[in-house]
Structure 1
Amino acid sequence: MPVDSLCQHISPRTSLLSLSLSGCPRISDFGASSLSGLTQLHTLRLEDCSRVTDAGVAAALRALRLLAHLSLRRCPKLGDGAVAAAAHSPGLQSLRVAHCSGITDIGLAAISPLTNLKQLDVRSVGPITDAGIATVCAANVSLVTLQLGWCSGVTDSSLQTIAKLCECLEVLELYRLARVTDVGVEYLRHMRPHLRLSMYKCSLVSMRDL
């Protein structure tokens, strides 16, 4: 059965709580939007789906108000529209949008209402900056895990913001942040000594800080 037809087939099953459609490159916006009927869904994984766009995902997410866990990783055509639609699920606890290259500071600002968010993965997204990270940290103070990577606009300023505002943060993962230096890392460690910090190829951070 074609994956779009499968999505349409399962849509009336409103009692479904969890759905994974990872690695389905043939799913289109039609299939994604068909998921809007799964109004009791708590967990949705829509990963490695190269054809879906903001339109299809947003059409589904606007109806899925009970979502607690959402993963849209490695969907290259997704951007701010999909992220903004996630804000329709006020109880969302984890949001993973790594490798969705259309996400910017605008998308990060759109998830500000998600005050229950505990985990956020924004590795290798669009051109997010310190301003976007500041918006997220100010609004989502309950964050426990934050993953950042391949974000050329993120500097030591973001690490300082994280240290000041994310009082619940337990895990911070930083990947290939070319403008983060020892100064930001030292400040972070001073302010959050119990934080579990993982770093990978941040070229301006010396070995003593790894």
Structure 2
Amino acid sequence: MASVCINEALTDDELRSVLSKLEEERDKEMFGLVCKRWLRLQSTERKRLAARAGPHMLQKMASRFSRLLELDLSQSVSRSFYPGVTDSDLSVVADGFKSLRVLLLQNCKGISDRGLVSIGRGLPSLQSLDISYCRKLTDKGLSAVAEGCQDLRSLHMSGCRFVTDGVLKALSKNCANLEELVLQGCSNITDHGLADLVSGCRRIQHLDLNKCNNVGDDGISKVSQACSYSLKKLKLLDCYKVGDQSILSLAKFCKNLETLIIGGCRDISNDSVISLAIACRNSLKNLRMDWCLNISDSSLSHIFSECRNLEGLDVGCCEEITDAAFQGLGSMETKLPLKFLKISNCPKITVTGLGLLLGKCDSLEYIDVRSCLHVTKLACDEAGLQFPECCKVNFTGSLNEPDLL
């Protein structure tokens, strides 16, 4: 029988089909070692790449990985002294990776508006961009991205301190499909900017405004009304201008809210939180309201009785909460799915209240009871409290906290 060369018998599409059947990354890499043809096919089919490279190497990578969808050029925080990617590099990326959908540039301190203008001009198909802690960037570069990348779905701008409301206006005008926007620490963002944003971007699911201390009730109310059906995650950590009006607006309009962070919003009171618990009883999964000093037992008891899908709760430093908040748990017929609980610095809670909680929460994986004067390891042992087998109990701060909230 005459020998048959596989490269003569199979077309490129058939070889790509073989490659697609390989599940392990190691096997995919070995596929490319067979011959130059197989290496070329393996390279063109690669979808993701993380790299540290200058313009010359980026050009080679662009010619080899022509169908790349995701490129990670982020700079490690531990190497923050090194600028990482430059504007020239971004020009090469914009010219060479035309299929790109996701671009990650975290901590690339060397890039400026000039580099983002290149991205806006060269990558019209871009859907996700992370330029967190690229501290030179201003409205000019980000507005160019909004104008050029109109299918943008996700934009992370944490720590971009020069960003103002002008960016939100550009996003509203050009990026109607925006679903995720992270503005953590962008202190120049105001209520006016949020109003502009949601006039055009009404599909936002995740909005992070942590430490945006110029955001208040007017802006959050506009967001809750415009994005009432889509909004699932809202983060407002240390937004001290946010009060009851914001929470009542969320309760009225946002019935699909799953995660709410209002830690440090000290003007929020029981009435608005109770309204939220009732309105979002079927959707709310994670709630953080540490340092909300006006929160007391009535809020917490309603959260437990209404929010039957709650998985994460942080009421640390809410000093008015007592064991009475847990009294209603005894009459519940079903268990709570709570996995994560922080009650640190709540001096009025004792092992009695904690025992009531444990009786209804056998899914707990982490509980923080630091600085609870009456909840120590010795007191728990003496009371015979039984924590779930997989539950980590943080009595002294020696345990790493899960990044749930």
TM-score (norm 1): 0.92
2:287 aligned counterpart, secondary structure: strand
Equivalent-residue separation in structure 2 for 1:111 and 1:15 (angstroms): 27
Q: Which has the larger share of helix?
A: 2
Residue 127 of structure 1: aligned partner: 267
* Cα deviation, residue 190, structure 1: 6.3
Map Cα deviations across residues 82-105 of structure 1 (whole Å, 9 max, x no partner). 211222112111111111111111
Can you give the 5+ residue segments of structure 2 that lack an aligned partner in the other structure?
Answer: 1-112, 114-136, 355-368, 370-405
Aligned length in residues: 210
1:83 aligned counterpart, secondary structure: helix
Higher relative contact order (CA 8 A, sep 6+): 1
Establish whether residue 174 from structure 1 lines up as the match of residue 315 from structure 2.
Answer: yes
1:11 aligned counterpart, secondary structure: helix
Change in CA separation of 1:171 and 1:188 when aligned onto 2, cut-off 3 Å? farther
Q: Which moved more, 1:24-33 or 1:89-98?
A: 24-33
* Alignment check: 8 A CA contact 1:98 1:123 kept: yes
Residue 61 of structure 1: aligned partner: 198
Equivalent-residue separation in structure 2 for 1:62 and 1:51 (angstroms): 19
Equivalent-residue separation in structure 1 for 2:165 and 2:199 (angstroms): 14
Equivalent-residue separation in structure 2 for 1:39 and 1:96 (angstroms): 21
Equivalent-residue separation in structure 2 for 1:35 and 1:11 (angstroms): 5
Change in CA separation of 1:200 and 1:39 when aligned onto 2, cut-off 3 Å? same
Change in CA separation of 1:123 and 1:189 when aligned onto 2, cut-off 3 Å? farther
* Alignment check: 8 A CA contact 2:161 2:185 kept: yes
Equivalent-residue separation in structure 2 for 1:11 and 1:52 (angstroms): 17
Establish whether residue 23 from structure 1 lines up as the match of residue 162 from structure 2.
Answer: no
Residue 35 of structure 1: aligned partner: 171
Greater gyration radius = 2
Q: Which has the larger share of strand?
A: 1
Establish whether residue 136 from structure 1 lines up as the match of residue 276 from structure 2.
Answer: yes
Residue 3 of structure 1: aligned partner: 138
Letter in 1 for 2:345: K
Equivalent-residue separation in structure 2 for 1:16 and 1:101 (angstroms): 30
Equivalent-residue separation in structure 2 for 1:199 and 1:107 (angstroms): 24
Change in CA separation of 1:189 and 1:201 when aligned onto 2, cut-off 3 Å? farther
Residue 78 of structure 1: aligned partner: 215
Can you give the 5+ residue segments of structure 1 that lack an aligned partner in the other structure?
Answer: none
Q: 1:93 aligns with which of 232, 237, 240?
A: 232
Equivalent-residue separation in structure 2 for 1:195 and 1:189 (angstroms): 15
* Cα deviation, residue 187, structure 1: 3.6
Change in CA separation of 1:46 and 1:189 when aligned onto 2, cut-off 3 Å? farther
Letter in 1 for 2:248: A
2:315 aligned counterpart, secondary structure: strand
Aligned residues with identical type, % of pairs: 27
Aligned Cα RMSD in Å?
A: 1.8
* Alignment check: 8 A CA contact 2:277 2:302 kept: yes
Map Cα deviations across residues 47-103 of structure 1 (whole Å, 9 max, x no partner). 101111111122112321111111111111111122112221121111111111111
Equivalent-residue separation in structure 1 for 2:285 and 2:202 (angstroms): 22
Change in CA separation of 1:28 and 1:39 when aligned onto 2, cut-off 3 Å? same
